[in-house]
Each structure stands twice: as structure tokens, then as C-alpha cells.
Amino acid sequence: MARLGGFLLLGAAILVTVEVIGRSSHLFVISLGTELATYALAVAATWSLAYVVFERAHVRVDVLAQRLPPLPKALLDLLALASLAAVGAVLASGGIEMFTTSLRLASKSNTTLGMPLVIPHGAWTFGLIWFTAVSLFRLVQGAMAIARHDYAEAARISAAPSADDEVEDAIADTEQRLSRDDAA
């Protein structure tokens, strides 16, 4: 979903570029790129949220947490995941309400395109629901690791990566690329 969101953003950038060039050269006056780009940005943003949770790419200022013993640190990481899931649930609830209203009223955009709003609202809401589901899944995984007293696994699931983790990942990626290059 994150890759599809990335392609949506790339497509939106191309549409807006074509539209700007077309307007400045007076080739066409119609404006579809901006509307589609707005939908693409909203969908890409929500579709990438779950990926960020799964990859532990969320940003947290955890100067204090880094100095805590493993159990309190793991519990704070779990609290952060629970907070993400709660925010996702609130947003998904609002998205579902908006989607059902668009569906019930057969709403269309007030533009030349006249897009049925149920399409972008549905894609956006699906991203929010998926984000919430992934957050809850990771929350349960983290809680199970803590219950087993496996704090390293709990950190691997729910903690934001430390600078040392990022360095280790970069070294591992480099070693993989080098071994692939040597094999080729």
C-alpha cells in the first residue's frame, strides 16, 4: 500500500506539472490535475501510515525512555502504540462516517471532473482503518512479548529505532548489497 501511495504521489506530481505547463502555454484551461493530486495526497498519506508503524519509522522524542530499564521502556513503547491505535480509531470512525454520508447522498465533487466522492473517501478511509488495524496488531504483539519478558522482541516490535539500530541496519544493507554485487 505504501508503494501504491508513492506511485499516486508520483502520478499527482506529473498531473500537476502537465497542468501548469498547459496553463502557462494556453494549451488547455481545464483543471483536473489539482483535484486528482489532492485525492492522491490524502490517500497516499493514509496508506503510508500503517507502513510507518510496521517499520517503526514513527518519530518520538524519547530521551528519557532510552535511560529507563527494559520493562518501563517497553511499557512506554506500548503506550505509544496504544496512542497511535486510539488516534487511528478516532480518525477511522470519522472517515467511515464521511464515507457512508458520501455513499448515502451520492456526493460528487463540485468541479469539472465531478468525481463521486465515495471513491476518494473510501480509499482514504480504508487507509485509516488499515493503519488502526496494524497499530492494534503491533500492540498485541508487543504486549505478548512483554508478557513473555522478551524485552528485546518488544523493542523490535514497538520501539522507535535508536541511532545504533539505524547504524546496524545500514551496515547490514550495505553487506547485502556487496554480497549481491560479488555474486553477480
DSSP per-residue codes, 70-101? HHHHHHHHHHHHHHHHHHHHHHHHHHHHHHHH
- Between CA 84 and CA 142 the distance in angstroms is 14
pLDDT of residue 29: 62
Query: Each residue's pLDDT tens digit in the chain (184 positions)?
Result: 778 877 877 887 887 787 777 777 766 666 666 777 888 888 888 888 888 888 877 766 667 777 888 899 899 889 989 999 999 999 999 999 999 999 999 999 887 778 899 999 999 999 999 999 999 999 999 999 999 999 989 988 888 776 677 778 788 888 888 888 777 6
pLDDT of residue 119: 93
pTM score above 0.85:
no
The answer to whether 151 touches 70, Cβ cutoff 8 Å, is yes
3-state secondary structure at position 114: coil
3-state secondary structure at position 109: coil
Per domain, the residue ranges of the chain are: 2-163
- Span 30-81, pLDDT tens digits: 666 677 788 888 888 888 888 888 887 776 666 777 788 889 989 988 998 9
Give how far Cα 108 sits from Cα of 8, 41, 116, 119, 156, Å.
21, 18, 4, 10, 44
pLDDT of residue 60: 67
